[in-house]
Chains A and B, each alone.
Chain A
Amino acid sequence: NAGVTQTPKFQVLKTGQSMTLQCAQDMNHNSMYWYRQDPGMGLRLIYYSASEGTTDKGEVPNGYNVSRLNKREFSLRLESAAPSQTSVYFCASSESVGTGGFQPQHFGDGTRLSIL
């Protein structure tokens, strides 16, 4: 019962370094999402992928890129990290909207990223 798995769990970077956050889900979900969570700011959507082969910008896409590698995997890349990107990053997945209406999201446990 892995659900949504994120790696790494913790990471410290220097300004200007690049890194990729990995996310994989084993629930055969069509849709996947990347959020960041900052104190007092709630959850903010960075990018999402409604289905394999598509990606779209969310509220705060600047400074990030994503890749929907296959149906299971959705990665988030920081090309040149900045201190403002220090945050906790969550990946989530959900089934497509069906007869049961809008489906809930399933979240990973997050990646805690600090940029010095």
Chain B
Amino acid sequence: GDSVTQMEGPVTLSEEAFLTINCTYTATGYPSLFWYVQYPGEGLQLLLKATKADDKGSNKGFEATYRKETTSFHLEKGSVQVSDSAVYFCALGNTGGFKTIFGAGTRLFVKA
């Protein structure tokens, strides 16, 4: 079945450092891919998405490119801020289905 694997955390960075959180997937067909972010005490919220190969999703300085050849959707940000500290979830959804498949989440700590 479909699955998502993302790097284990926690990831600890200093402010203004470069961020990469790796995500790879296994799926049949042509899934849509998502990154969600969860701040302390809140629910998940959509950060960015990509619906087809080579699409780049971007939001709030974060980017991820849908790479079908490597089945990856890595999240990147050029300069993190303390306010980016949160848990990040990679996810996929397949056309014809109703369920989103979530990765286990990666906790990010950013130090001032």
Contacts of B100 in A (CB 8 A): 94, 102, 104-105
Question: A49 — nearest CB in chain B belongs to which residue?
Answer: B98
Q: Is the CB of B41 within 8 A of A101?
A: no
Q: Contact between B41 and A109 (Cβ–Cβ < 8 Å)? A: yes
Out of B34, B36, B42, B96, which one reaches A97, CB within 8 Å? B96
**Which A residues lie within 8 Å of B42 (CB)?**
109-110
Task: Choose from A33, A43, A58 the contact partner of B89 (Cβ within 8 Å).
Answer: A43
- Verify B51–A101 contact, CB threshold 8 A: yes
How many of chain B's residues touch chain A, expressed as a range? 20 to 34
B104 at the interface (CB under 8 A from A): yes
Per-residue CB proximity of B43-55 to A under 8 Å, as 1/0? 1111001011000
Chain B at the A interface: mostly helix, strand, loop or mixed? loop
- Determine the interface band of chain A, counting residues with CB < 8 A from chain B: 20 to 34
- Interface of A, secondary structure class, is strand
Whether B43 and A101, one on each chain, are in contact in the complex, defined by CB atoms closer than 8 angstroms, is: no
B26 shortest CB reach to chain A, Å: 16
Q: Which residues of A contact B95 (CB under 8 A)?
A: 97, 101-102
Q: Which of A42-62 contact B (CB under 8 A)?
A: 42-43, 45, 48, 50, 58
Q: Is A107's CB within 8 Å of the partner chain B?
A: yes
Residues of A within 8 A of B (CB): 4, 31, 33, 42-43, 45, 48, 50, 58, 90, 92, 94, 97, 100-110
B residues lining the A interface (CB < 8 Å): 31-32, 34, 36, 41-46, 49, 51-52, 89, 93-100, 102-105
